[in-house]
Amino acid sequence: MADVKKIATRTGYGEALRELGELHEDVVVFDADLAGSTQTGVFGKAFPGRHFNCGIAEANMMAAAAGAASMGMVAFASSFAMFAAGRAYEQVRNSIGYTGLNVKIGASHGGISVGEDGASHQCLEDFALMRSIPGMVVMSPADTVEAKAMVKAAYEHQGPVYMRFGRSPVPVFHDEASFRFEIGRGEVMREGTDVAILANGLLVAEAVEAGKLLADRGISARIVNMATIKPLDGELVLRAAAECGKIVTCEEHSVVGGLGEAVCALLSEKRPTPVRRVGTPDVFGHSGPAAALLEEFGLCAANIARVAEEFVKE
Amino acid sequence: MTDNEKKALQITACKVRIGIIESTHAAKAGHPGGSLSAAELFTYLYFKELNVDPKNPKKWDRDRFVLSKGHCAPGLYAALALRGFFPWEDLKTLRHIGSYLQGHPDMKSIPGVDMSTGSLGQGISAACGMALAAKLQSNPCRVYALLGDGEIQEGQVWEAFMFAHHYKLDNLCAVVDNNGLQIDGPVDQVMNPYPIEDKLRAFGWEALTVDGHDFDALENAFAQARTVKGRPFAIVMKTVKGKGVGFMENQVGWHGKAPNDEQAGTALKELREALAGLEAE
């Protein structure tokens, strides 16, 4: 994918917000002094009267967004994943999750690819935290096209949504004109029968590359984009288990509590199937360039292909 | 306010207190102390101040009330029942399995409740979001929030106070129930929140300290709140925790404990005598 255009998924978030703002007067956006980074500033520039900077105060932001939603607004609230899902967890749980209000959390800078800022800002736990809230939709797009479509689907969805976007530019492989997004539906990127690789976020592009590497080695890998972590596309996972017999999950997240565990939970109860999880082990990250960190933690095509190959040959 | 009006409010407040005792007694749990201290406030809001309609509890321009100190639900529920949002008899189902009267306010199940609360500090933020949205929607409603004096130890409350001033939320009125006690003891011994009014002023609010058991004082404060433009208004309400039930007054132990059969009997006797006295006057 060397020649492919690369754009960060947070860019799609900002663009989608602006487009939603043009169409719908009920869209309001809250940010916590990171509007330039999260890209809500794009909306703010177009609609300054509906963009509310809350300052560095995520707890208040989340509950204020809930209050606005209770008045019939569709409230988007943004910060880095670390602070949106981490610091404000309990506000999200009680004021947004428990109430079921129409708040859409747009969390940028998720995962290890935050890079140089180091462990304090590398949120590897947000899927786990948000998945644990009843009724919360949890998603992570693979590219900016999917991000845009996801944000629009989140607007249409009634109830709370958590979306994680990335800081780093990632390959754009969806075609904006033809792409259709549906919450809770996985997307088969490549058919295969020896092993199914389920990925989300920036690891979808890596998984697709891994699929090519595996094909060169005579292994038929099914590659699936699991952009929605909750509700999980159980039908697709079970079919992959039945037809491929082995599952590899890939996420820019701790192996604790994310897509991997969601898939394992489903399979262990419905159709016991061997699984390997690619993710960060149960450790904190550290500073470094995004690409180097992704490679170090095995969040790259070469490692996914290695894990899958060893798994198939077992 | 006329003497008759005041008398009617005093009678209603007494009934709110009876509801608090009956419901927490039936639940064998709950928070009578801080509910009793705010009985006049609940009464004033639902019988004088708020534009609400029990027959149309979701009407778009209703005034919003957020019980940020959500544990004082028994007081709110009693006022809502008296105002006609749901049957008085249902108060005895408080905290029971299957009851819609949850231990803390639940907007999804309880008519008249506009925000689910209970986790301290969040209600005032939600009220800020409501006030902000009301301005965007040109909704003439006003937004009210009741906080505890222990609750304002939460940092989020001050984030919200900053926000309300920053966005000039003059349609927002916050009330702090300064009954002076929290679970672990007197507020100034647990974590001194004073001076409350000065701090609110320093955060850009217009603020006033009043006797929270005096309906004339409440009327004056809420009237003043409506006249202030360009900034939010706070009422620091001096109250007695457990007010109206002699053995509960100013007792830390009655923060979160329900009266047993004997205690409930004693409390209800006192309140019914007070009620009879008011009605006989």
Question: Which value does ipTM take for this structure?
Answer: 0.97
CA gap B137, B22 in Å, rounded: 40
CA gap B183, B123 in Å, rounded: 19
Nearest to A36 by CA among A51, A58, A21: A51
CA gap A222, A224 in Å, rounded: 7
CA gap A54, A59 in Å, rounded: 10
Query: What are the start-end ranges of the H helices in B109-244?
Result: 122-136, 155-166, 187-191, 196-202, 215-227
Report the pLDDT value the prediction gives residue B281, as an integer from 0 to 100: 83
- Which whole-number Å values give the CA distances from A246 to A192, A223, A254, in the listed order? 11, 12, 21
CB within 8 Å of chain A, chain B residues 177-216: none
Query: Are the beta carbons of A67 and B160 separated by less than 8 Å?
Result: no
Q: Is A133 on the interface with B (CB under 8 A)?
A: no
For residues B128 and A64, the answer to whether their CB atoms sit within 8 Å is yes
Identify which of B60, B108, B126 has the shortest CB distance to residue A67: B126
Give me the phi and psi of B238, to 5 degrees please: -75, 125
Going by pLDDT thresholds of 50, 70 and 90, the confidence category of residue A229 is very high
Bridge partners (DSSP) listed for residue A170: A7
Averaged pLDDT for residues B115-142:
98
Give B-chain residues touching A57 at CB under 8 angstroms. 156, 159, 162-163
CA gap B42, A202 in Å, rounded: 53
Residue A179 has pLDDT above 90, yes or no: yes
Report the pLDDT value the prediction gives residue A4, as an integer from 0 to 100: 84
Q: Is B134 on the interface with A (CB under 8 A)?
A: yes
Suggest the residue from A71, A98, A133 to mutate for an interface test with chain B (most B CBs closer than 10 A): A71
Torsion of CA A116, A122, A124, A125, to 10 degrees: 170
Using DSSP bridges, classify how beta strands B172-178 and B233-238 pair: parallel, antiparallel or unpaired: parallel
Going by pLDDT thresholds of 50, 70 and 90, the confidence category of residue B52 is very high
**What pTM does this model have?**
0.97
What percentage of chain A carries pLDDT values higher than 70?
99
Sequence-distant (6+) residues with CB within 8 A of B160 are: A60, A63, A64, B121, B124, B125, B127, B128
Query: Are the beta carbons of A28 and B133 separated by less than 8 Å?
Result: yes
Query: Are the beta carbons of B156 and A72 separated by less than 8 Å?
Result: no
Suggest the residue from B63, B114, B125 to mutate for an interface test with chain A (most A CBs closer than 10 A): B125
Sequence-distant (6+) residues with CB within 8 A of B145 are: B65, B66, B67, B68, B123, B124, B127, B172, B173, B174, B175
Averaged pLDDT for residues B151-179:
98
CA gap A305, A212 in Å, rounded: 9
For residues A135 and A161, the answer to whether their CB atoms sit within 8 Å is no
Bridge partners (DSSP) listed for residue A188: A224
> A187-313: which CATH topology?
Rossmann fold (3.40.50)
Fill in the amino acid letter for B107: M
Provide the shortest C-alpha distance from residue A256 to chain B (in Å). Answer: 27
> Position of tokens 């974590």?
B191
Residue A217 has pLDDT above 60, yes or no: yes
Averaged pLDDT for residues A200-226:
98
Identify which of B134, B162, B166 has the shortest CB distance to residue A71: B134
How many beta-carbon pairs below 8 A join chains A and B?
109
Residue A2 has pLDDT above 90, yes or no: no
For residues B111 and B56, the answer to whether their CB atoms sit within 8 Å is no
- Return the CATH number of A7-171, one of 2.70.98.50, 3.40.50.970, 3.30.1330.10, 2.70.70.10: 3.40.50.970
What chain B residue is nearest to A74 in terms of C-alpha separation? B133
Is the fold of A7-171 the same as that of A187-313?
A: yes
Averaged pLDDT for residues B113-139:
98
What percentage of chain A carries pLDDT values higher than 90?
99
What chain A residue is nearest to B116 in terms of C-alpha separation? A99
What chain A residue is nearest to B161 in terms of C-alpha separation? A60
Averaged pLDDT for residues A238-259:
98
Give A-chain residues touching B128 at CB under 8 angstroms. 60, 64, 67
CATH code for the part of the protein at B3-280: 3.40.50.970
Provide the shortest C-alpha distance from residue B149 to chain A (in Å). Answer: 18
CA gap A297, A246 in Å, rounded: 22
A155 three-class SS: helix
pLDDT tens across A61-96, in order? Answer: 999 999 999 999 999 999 999 999 999 999 999 999
Whether A182 is catalytic is: no
CA gap A196, A282 in Å, rounded: 24
Residue A296 zone, left/alpha/beta (φ > 0; ψ -120 to 50; rest): alpha
Query: Are the beta carbons of B163 and A69 separated by less than 8 Å?
Result: no
Buried b (16+ CB within 10 A) or exposed e, B167-191: bbbbbbbbbbbbbbbbeeeebeeee
Provide the shortest C-alpha distance from residue B228 to chain A (in Å). Answer: 22
Query: Are the beta carbons of A70 and B139 separated by less than 8 Å?
Result: no
Provide the shortest C-alpha distance from residue B169 to chain A (in Å). Answer: 13
CA gap A122, A114 in Å, rounded: 6
Report the pLDDT value the prediction gives residue A1, as an integer from 0 to 100: 47
A39 three-class SS: coil
Using DSSP bridges, classify how beta strands A51-53 and A74-80 pair: parallel, antiparallel or unpaired: unpaired
Which of the following is catalytic: A15, A22, A25, A58? A58
CA gap A58, A64 in Å, rounded: 10
Residue A272 has pLDDT above 50, yes or no: yes
What percentage of chain B carries pLDDT values higher than 70?
100
Structural domain spans, chain A: 7-171, 187-313
Q: Is A91 on the interface with B (CB under 8 A)?
A: yes
Averaged pLDDT for residues B250-278:
97
Averaged pLDDT for residues B165-176:
98
